[in-house]
Amino acid sequence: MSAIRLLVLGAVRQHGRAHGYQVRNDLEYWGAHEWSNAKPGSIYHALKQMAKQQLLHAHDTAPSTAGGPPRTEYELTPAGEEEYFRLLRAALVQRDPKTDLLSAGLGFLVDLPRAEAVALLKERVRALTEWRTTVTSSYAPEGGAELGHIGEIMHMWVHATDSGVEWTRGLIARIEGGAYVFAGEGAPFVGVLAPGQPNPYAARDDADARQPGTD
C-alpha cells in the first residue's frame, strides 16, 4: 500500500478542491518529502493517475493572470472519498505498515470519529502484541546465543514492536483524555496552507516553484 495515494487524497480533501502546486506545498509544509516518497513527480503523477481511476475529478481552470498555463484543480469523487477512508483505516490498524504510511494515517487521524480512531489503534496494539507472543515462542531474542549474531535481527524487531505498543497506548490515552478535535466535534485543526501563504519548509528554489505542466 502506497502512502502517496493517502497523502494526496487527504491533502485535496482538506481543501475541497486543490491544484497540484497546493498539494505539493501542503505536503512539503508537513515535511512529507523527508519521510515519504512525496516528491514533486510522485505527487503530480498520483493526481493524474487517480483522476484516470475516477478517484479524483479534474476541473480545468482559466489561465493565470500572470500568463501561465491553465491550472487543473482536483476534487474527490465519491469513490475517492471511499478510497481515502479505506487507506486511512488500513494505515492505522496494520501491525507493520511502512513508517511513511503510518505517518500519513496520523496526519489524517482526526478525520475519523474519536471512538473509531481509538478502536483502530487498539486493534493495532492487539496485532503487535499477538505477533510478539508468536515470535518469542519460537525465538529467544533476549538471549540470542543459539543463533549467534543473527539473533539480533529478531531482537531488533521485538524491540521495535515493544516501542510501537508503548507509543500507541500513549496516543490512545491522549485521545481518550480529550486531546485533539475529531470528526463531528467542532471546527477541525487547519493543517494546510492558505492560498498565498508562504511555506517556510518548501523543498525547492523559487525558480522551481511553478513549472509548466506540473500543476
Q: Residue 57 phi/psi, 5° resolution? A: -100, 125
Any residues with CB less than 8 A from the CB of 185 and at least 6 apart, and which?
114
More confident residue, 99 or 172: 172
First to last CA, the chain: 25
Backbone φ/ψ region at 112: left (φ over 0), alpha (ψ -120 to 50), beta:
beta
Which pLDDT belongs to residue 67?
60
| 153 pLDDT above the threshold of 70 | yes
Q: Residue 45 phi/psi, 5° resolution? A: -65, -45
More confident residue, 194 or 38: 38
| 63 pLDDT above the threshold of 90 | no
Mean pLDDT over all residues of the chain? Answer: 86
Range ranked top by mean pLDDT from 25-29, 42-46, 78-82, 196-200:
78-82
| 211 pLDDT above the threshold of 50 | no
SS3 18: strand
More confident residue, 40 or 208: 40
**Residue 145 pLDDT grade (very low, low, confident, very high; cuts 50, 70, 90):** low
More confident residue, 193 or 8: 8
Range ranked top by mean pLDDT from 85-99, 130-144, 191-205:
85-99
Q: CA 165: distance to chain centroid? A: 20
